[in-house]
Amino acid sequence: MKKITFLFIVFTQILLGQNNISLDYYLPQNISFNQEIPTPKEIIGHEVGEWHVTHDKLVEYMKKIAEVSPRVSIENRGETYEGRPIILLTITAPENHSNITEIRKSHVQLTENSGNSLNTENMPIVVYQGFSIHGNEPSGSNAALATIYYLAAAEGNEINDLLKNTVILLDPSLNPDGLQRFAYWANTNRSHVLNPDPNDREYEEVWPGGRTNHYWFDLNRDWLPIQLPESKARIKTFHQWMPNILTDHHEMGTNSTFFFQPGEPSRVNPLTPKMNQQFTKEIAKYHAKALDKIGSLYYSEEDYDDFYYGKGSTFPDINGSIGILFEQGSSRGHIQESENGILTFPFTIRNQFTTALSTLEAAKNLRVDILNYQREFYSNARKEAAKSKSSAYIFGDEKDAAKTYQLAKILESQKIELYQANEDITINEKTFKKGYSYLVPKNQKNHRLIEAMFDIRTEFEDSLFYDISAWTFPYAFNLDFEETKTAGDRTNNITLRTGNVNEQSNYAYLFDWHEYYTPKALNMILNKGLRAKVGKTPFSLEGKDYDYGTIMIPVQNQKLNKSELYEFLQKVAKEAHIEITSVATGLTKGIDLGSNDFEALKKQKVALIVGNGITSYDAGEIWHLFDQRYNMQITKLDTDNLGRTSLDKYTTIILPNIWGSALNGTATQKIKDWVRNGGTLIGYRNAVNWLERNDLLKVEFKKNEMTAKNITFEQKQFFSGAQVTGGAIFKANLDRSHPINFGYKNETLPVFRNTNIYMEPNEESYNNPIQYDLNPLLSGYISEENLELLKGAVPFKVQRNGSGRVIAFTDNTNFRAFWYGTNKLLMNAIFFSKVM
Ligand SMILES: [Zn+2]
């Protein structure tokens, strides 16, 4: 009765804007709390749920708790792009803390061969609890305040028993930059008289929103490729601790209730053991019971899946752990009308808090079974691995050490053992050069993770995917790979080779365009005001072969004198990790260095269209590519201001995926004039439709004209869902002589595709330098109808328009920062468009 009255008061007071929320609203009843432990309000100045906690306040509270509680320690594992700490709290009984290194070591030993002799009866279970990886799904991080208070301050046998048997790794903000961005939005638009009207500005964040990190990446797709600092920190913790359960607290649409895994049973990755899903189901009973108790609606076994291992709730499943996804209907701001009545921010926090605690209760009760499951997972994996004997994957690119290094680095961070061959190995006419390739023996501990990363799959139980259906890493990196026998030596020290210029030249310098960081080098050279040219034809000189796209820097008539030029190029070679060769003559076998087949290159000034109507992921990937990989300046032009901005100074403008009427008539006309006057406009995905509509590009599309036959209303969703190409990998054939393909050594290229835009090829074959194969599916799901359309279609087009160029890519060449294999296509479009 007391509780009901209390709830009623909270409810009405929130509506009246008196904001009289109390910490008791969240906490379990009839428990005493240690008065020495400060409440969140005592440190951050407001009650949990009264305001959206900013990341700095969150950190302040966590630090304070670690300072005063013998149950809690804190560490900073790195920095986000905006310099925020990536903290982790370790929470366990004080007697465990004094012995924490031993506990960790023996826990990890459970996954080793020597773990068979360990007694799991007395071992604590390890639970990793992660909150709000999407920054604008804030109930998780705000619940972390109440969770840490409870874990530090609660008294009695129950908490003592829990902490004795559990090590909790609490990651209160999986996305600090996104959380901060969203808190700023929700707080600055909060009214004193809280307003639940969904039309209020509070509930309509401005572009790009707080979901993503600094470069607008979805961090919950990066657990496998680990390209971003936040992921790097948490994957390190994961492998250090090998947690048994990992939870991932999210939010979904305002009209939804609460979801917990297991998800859709037919969409579990087939590499995940059945037992994993059974434990998930067993744990789910604890969530259901806890939510029943507080009267909250919920559901499971629908909507969400467990397929892509790059997600936080699925990654653990291939690593002997159990990943659990929570999704809370979002109040987005402080209070909002919904189909389930008024949805308050505190209510959403309470559900997250409640399931954080039910997870811990499940962990404690199922402790020994789950520990044994983890041990068995690895012992079974070892047995499977042993069957592969000395079999290994070999990957590499004999002309690109940097790209090879980047994949090796991911595998190393995922604790996969690598070997280096002592000599060149040739398999199926592909050469795996020493120093440019690595071997991955299948017979090793993380055998299953390797299979997940090298997986090639074209058949599926279900035709609906929450995310991508393929991510085969050697394809993503466009590296040669084969199966072979393990050979060579184990390597623990993967390094990116330092670049070099062999000696000073009086005549010219040359470098091949194959290495990943060559655009960085060329950009440095052109920015310095130096003259450089690109060779359109292969040649050989002084015993070395040079391919299409070789860059030549003459010594004569430059801004720098001979020795300054040599010194500068040394710096370029080092920073871009490339070999620059000094030559003494211009007389070659093939085109001479003074030939007209060498075309002069210009310094580039690139702009990227961002803002309302642009897909922020796609734009962010390009911003990140320029800023982090190639050290190239890129100006972000907002769609709202484009009509008022002079475009004259830009040589190239990139238009990422666009929807709606993002660009008004004035802006569109401005872009058209700018192209005619010599600009290069590069459009991606839906921008290709925009280019066509605005007469900037002539293109014929192939269309999927399917109509439903014998499909019931109930089946409608599956019918249309099956036609979505969520993300799969396809084989394209390359005309290597075309400048868009400079730097590619193979005649084929794996291309990632997540659209259904199909361009007809041009009648003239030389206008189709990249064309999908007649048997294009390499890995992933695509419907039969769409596969037919894709055969022979082209993902790229270039067209002259006045003195400018319009370039179209139907596919994303910069996908999620780990699709290294096609990054060079964009750079070629920028530096070589005038040669096309
Ligand atoms: Zn989310």
339/412 same-domain check = no
Dist. CA 724 → ligand 1 center (Å): 21
Dist. CA 326 → ligand 1 center (Å): 9
d(CA 780, CA 413): 25
Quick: pLDDT tens for 185-207: 999 999 999 999 999 999 999 99
Residue 604: per-residue pLDDT: 98
Dist. CA 550 → ligand 1 center (Å): 45
809/824 same-domain check = yes
Residue 8: per-residue pLDDT: 45
Q: Which of 357, 384, 411 is the last residue of a domain?
A: 384
SS3 632: coil
Q: Where are the beta strands (DSSP E) in 49-122?
A: 72-79, 85-91
Dist. CA 207 → ligand 1 center (Å): 17
Dist. CA 310 → ligand 1 center (Å): 13
Residue 10 has pLDDT above 60, yes or no: no
612/587 same-domain check = no
Quick check: 139 and 33 in contact, CB under 8 A? no
Dist. CA 252 → ligand 1 center (Å): 7
Dist. CA 678 → ligand 1 center (Å): 43
Quick: pLDDT tens for 283-323: 999 999 999 999 999 999 999 989 999 999 999 999 999 99
d(CA 563, CA 565): 5
Amino acid at position 145, single letter: L
504/487 same-domain check = no
Determine what percent of the chain falls in helix, strand and coil, rounding each to the nearest 5: 35, 20, 40
- Strand 598-600 versus strand 606-610 pairing type: unpaired
Residue 16 has pLDDT above 60, yes or no: no
Quick: pLDDT tens for 757-812: 999 999 999 999 999 999 999 999 999 999 999 999 999 999 999 999 999 999 99
d(CA 1, CA 343): 23
686/635 same-domain check = yes
Residue 14 has pLDDT above 60, yes or no: no
464/541 same-domain check = no
Residue 19: per-residue pLDDT: 60
Residue 715: per-residue pLDDT: 81
CA-only gyration radius of the chain, Å: 29
Q: How far apart are the first and last CA of the chain?
A: 78
CATH number at residue 60: 3.40.630.10
Dist. CA 250 → ligand 1 center (Å): 4
Residue 3 binned pLDDT confidence (cut-offs 50, 70, 90) = very low
Residue 38: per-residue pLDDT: 98
d(CA 401, CA 805): 32
The per-residue DSSP string of 545-586 comes to: EE-TT-EEEESTT-SS-HHHHHHHHHHHHHHHT-EEEEES-S
Residue 719: per-residue pLDDT: 80
Neighbours of 677 (CB within 10 A): 12
Q: Which two tokens stand for residue 711?
A: 């499909």
Residue 83 has pLDDT above 60, yes or no: yes
d(CA 471, CA 551): 33
Residue 9 has pLDDT above 60, yes or no: no
Residue 467: per-residue pLDDT: 86
Residue 15: per-residue pLDDT: 47
Omega of the bond leading into 176 within 30 degrees of 0 (cis): no
Q: Which helix (H) or strand (E) covers residue 427, if one does?
A: strand 425-427
Q: Which of 345, 369, 384 is the last residue of a domain?
A: 384
Dist. CA 178 → ligand 1 center (Å): 12
Residue 514 binned pLDDT confidence (cut-offs 50, 70, 90) = very high
Q: Which of 384, 401, 433 is the last residue of a domain?
A: 384
The single-letter DSSP state of residue 38 is P
Q: Where are the beta strands (DSSP E) in 229-295?
A: 245-252, 258-260
368/310 same-domain check = yes
CATH number at residue 689: 3.40.50.880
Residue 155 binned pLDDT confidence (cut-offs 50, 70, 90) = very high
**Closest alpha carbon to 151 in 245, 57, 250, 34:** 34
CA 748 vs. chain centroid, Å, equals: 25
727/578 same-domain check = no
Dist. CA 136 → ligand 1 center (Å): 8
Dist. CA 469 → ligand 1 center (Å): 19
Supply the range of the domain harboring residue 531. Answer: 500-601
Residues whose beta carbons lie less than 5 angstroms from ion ligand 1: 134, 137, 250
Quick check: 222 and 228 in contact, CB under 8 A? yes
Output the CA–CA distances (angstroms, integers) from residue 11 to 19, 167, 194, 608, in the order listed: 10, 36, 12, 47
193/277 same-domain check = yes
Dist. CA 407 → ligand 1 center (Å): 27
Dist. CA 373 → ligand 1 center (Å): 28
- Which residues are within 8 A (CB) of 497 and not within 5 positions of it... i.e. 6 or more apart? 401, 405, 435, 577
Residue 647: per-residue pLDDT: 98
d(CA 749, CA 280): 39
Q: Which helix (H) or strand (E) covers residue 431, if one does?
A: strand 430-432
Amino acid at position 569, single letter: L
> What global pTM score does this model have?
0.96
Dist. CA 323 → ligand 1 center (Å): 14
504/468 same-domain check = no
546/640 same-domain check = no
Average pLDDT (114-133) is 97
- Which residues are within 8 A (CB) of 420 and not within 5 positions of it... i.e. 6 or more apart? 434, 435, 437, 438, 439, 488, 489, 491
Q: How many domains does the chain divide into? A: 4
Residue 492: per-residue pLDDT: 87
Dist. CA 133 → ligand 1 center (Å): 7
Q: Which residue numbers are catalytic?
A: 327
461/329 same-domain check = no
Dist. CA 330 → ligand 1 center (Å): 10
CATH number at residue 549: 3.30.70
Q: Where are the beta strands (DSSP E) in 159-279?
A: 166-171, 245-252, 258-260
Residue 7: per-residue pLDDT: 45
Dist. CA 223 → ligand 1 center (Å): 14
Quick: pLDDT tens for 362-393: 999 999 999 999 999 999 999 999 999 889 99
- Which residues are within 8 A (CB) of 535 and not within 5 positions of it... i.e. 6 or more apart? 546, 548, 549, 550, 551, 552, 591, 595, 597, 598
